[in-house]
Amino acid sequence: MKRSRSFTNFIYNSAYHIFAIIIPLITTPYISRKLGAGGIGEYSYAYSVASYFALFIKLGLANYGNRTIAFARGKGKDLSKEFWSIYLFQLLMGIVANAIYLVYCLTVASSPEISLLIMLYLISVGIDITWFFWGLENFKLTVTRDFIIKILTTVCIFVFIRDANDVWKYAIILSGGSFFSQALLWTSLKRYIHWSKPTWGEIRQHIKPNLVLFVPSIAVSFYKIMDKIMLGAMSSTVEVGFYQSSERVLQVPMALVTSLGTVMQPRMSNLISKDTGKDYLASVMSKSVALALFLSTSLGFGIMTVSKEFVPIFYGQGFEKCTTLFLILLPSCMFLSFTNVFKSQYMVPNKLDKEYTIALFTGAAVNLLFNSLLIPRIASIGAAWGTLFAEISVTIVITVIMSRKVDVWRYYKSALPFIISGLIMFFTCRRIDLQIGIISGLLIKIIISAVVYLISLVVLLTMGGNWFGFNLKELYGQIIPLILRRKKN
């Protein structure tokens, strides 16, 4: 059976996301011991501020550029004209944002040296054309590039980072890696397009819809970036270090979920442009929800289950607070999974940008409220609660919006066995104390937890398959073809 492009892209993108998570898992124990929570917090705070400037360069390109190229490809439009009319506006925004950021670094930045070094990251955002290759569903190129760069940056971290005074080296390594990663893409661009000077009218037509999708980015930034800035301003950079270290682990269960959404968004956009039947589109999304919940609940609840043993091994002494932060942050994986699938496979492809923006601003308001109330009292723990409540509120609003157009409850129904299995694993195995070596105890506890999860899932899918909407046979016969087979046109 010939494998579909979606499957190949899923493998490439999943491999990259896993690799992108594995690398920090390898480097974090080293960095946490060399730079400490204070050094990590200093870099994270400066990077968070720079990320706000990056938002004004990226605008809504991750979604808009991706979607526009996918639609243009589906309708046989001139890709060169589409690309240059979009990118030249991005380039202009990059020049303006970098100029303003330079003024910030020289005047009010709390760590001017670190902030200036991170400017190389901002320059890389200005030349980032990943959205073009995603729209073409060419994930092999972007993944191969990032594999090479991340390996090189990892080697540099272990070679050059020696103590708490090396925060500036850490900033150079990460920012430089980002710059070279984006620069490499331009060497491959000429194979797909040629120079085509756009008119101002052609550029202008992309500005408004791009800005519409930029508004959600601002909303997301409140509980993806602003929480660290508020934490550093209202508490300390040490607390930022605890929060950043814990949040990084949250990315582990979300790696494959994010990969699934990245791959399926241009695919769904392309299918919609070809007027594919609604039943087929709904079927694809239903299978994606089940797959996303399997990934997020097994890994998310699994990490929570072994967090007591994991934290001292992974971070070393002084990071005990991360155990509590895990228990607050990781449940948000479930809500992030729903949001990611609904957004990437329904809302963005169907151009429900306004509705998606409403959901994100609701989350931003909730996050800002709880951060303001809780961070002054309980620091990083308050920021974690703010993030969890924000993700819950976004999922609720998206559910209400989608329920007016589709049978959204079918997706929650098919997700229940995965959520229940995760809860059974957590409450059954959390208190297991094997009283043996800490590393061997962690490994055995992971195995026990995985067995409990899988047994619970098999029982639920076997005995309650009709009620949940999926059983083992259907999972094999439907989800696997989602990855392995291309729909015949």
Q: Given a cut of 80, is residue 68 above it in pLDDT?
A: no
Percent of the chain at pLDDT > 70 equals 83
Q: How far apart are CA 175 and CA 177, in angstroms?
A: 5
- The amino acid at 146: D
Break the chain into its structural domains and give their ranges.
5-484
Q: How far apart are CA 332 and CA 455, in angstroms?
A: 24
Quick one: pLDDT band at residue 488, thresholds 50, 70, 90?
very low
Neighbouring residues of 439: CB distance < 8 A, sequence distance ≥ 6: 313
Rg (C-alpha) for the chain, rounded Å, is: 22
- Stretch among 52-61, 115-124, 323-332, 383-392 having the lowest mean pLDDT: 52-61
pLDDT of 348 reads 73
pLDDT of 207 reads 77
pLDDT of 123 reads 93
pLDDT of 30 reads 87
Structure tokens, 80: 């060169």
pLDDT of 262 reads 65
Structure tokens, 429: 């195995």
Residue-level length of the chain: 489
Looking at residue 479, the DSSP 8-state letter turns out to be I
Rounded average pLDDT over 288-300: 86
Structure tokens, 78: 């001139």
- pLDDT digit string (tens) for 397-409? 999 988 888 888 8
Helix (H, G, I), strand (E, B) or coil at 407: coil
Find out whether 338 and 395 touch, Cβ atoms under 8 Å: yes
Q: Given a cut of 70, is residue 263 above it in pLDDT?
A: no
- pLDDT digit string (tens) for 85-108? 888 888 888 999 999 999 999 998
Place of tokens 């492009």: 5
**Alpha-carbon dihedral sign for residues 172, 178, 179, 183:** positive
Find out whether 337 and 293 touch, Cβ atoms under 8 Å: yes
pLDDT of 489 reads 39
Cα angle value 406/253/125 (rounded, 5°) = 85
Q: Given a cut of 80, is residue 126 above it in pLDDT?
A: yes
Q: Given a cut of 80, is residue 254 above it in pLDDT?
A: no
Average pLDDT in the chain = 80
pLDDT of 482 reads 46
pLDDT of 480 reads 45
Which one has a higher pLDDT value, 377 or 76?
377
Looking at residue 166, the DSSP 8-state letter turns out to be G
Q: How far apart are CA 9 and CA 486, in angstroms?
A: 12
Which one has a higher pLDDT value, 369 or 475?
369
Q: Given a cut of 70, is residue 74 above it in pLDDT?
A: no
**Alpha-carbon dihedral sign for residues 175, 296, 334, 346:** positive
- The most confident of 250-259, 456-465, 472-481, by mean pLDDT: 456-465
Find out whether 15 and 143 touch, Cβ atoms under 8 Å: yes
Structure tokens, 422: 């995760």
Across 65-87, b (16+ Cβ under 10 Å) vs e yields: bbbbbbbbbeeeeebebbbbbbb
Q: Given a cut of 50, is residue 109 above it in pLDDT?
A: yes
- Stretch among 35-44, 69-78, 199-208, 220-229 having the lowest mean pLDDT: 69-78
Q: How far apart are CA 402 and CA 412, in angstroms?
A: 12
Strands (E), 36-162: none
Distance in angstroms between the alpha carbons of the first and the last residue of the chain: 17
Reported as type and span, the H/E element at residue 27 is: helix 5-34
Helices (H), 190-305: 200-224, 226-234, 237-273, 278-305
CA-closest candidate to residue 397, choices 216, 253, 208: 216
Find out whether 98 and 300 touch, Cβ atoms under 8 Å: no
Q: Given a cut of 60, is residue 479 above it in pLDDT?
A: no
Quick one: pLDDT band at residue 149, thresholds 50, 70, 90?
confident
- pLDDT digit string (tens) for 158-192? 999 988 889 999 999 999 988 988 888 888 888 77
pTM listed for this prediction = 0.69
CA-closest candidate to residue 131, choices 71, 75, 175: 71
Q: How far apart are CA 116 and CA 23, in angstroms?
A: 25
Q: How far apart are CA 262 and CA 63, in angstroms?
A: 9
Place of tokens 């890709």: 79
- pLDDT digit string (tens) for 413-471? 888 889 999 999 999 999 888 878 788 888 999 999 999 999 998 888 877 555 555 55
Q: Given a cut of 90, is residue 276 above it in pLDDT?
A: no
Which one has a higher pLDDT value, 28 or 239?
239
Q: How far apart are CA 118 and CA 120, in angstroms?
A: 5
pLDDT of 174 reads 92
Q: How far apart are CA 68 and CA 65, in angstroms?
A: 5
3-state secondary structure 332-359: HHHHHHHHHHHHHHHHCCCCCHHHHHHH
Find out whether 47 and 197 touch, Cβ atoms under 8 Å: no
Quick one: pLDDT band at residue 373, thresholds 50, 70, 90?
very high
pLDDT of 484 reads 43
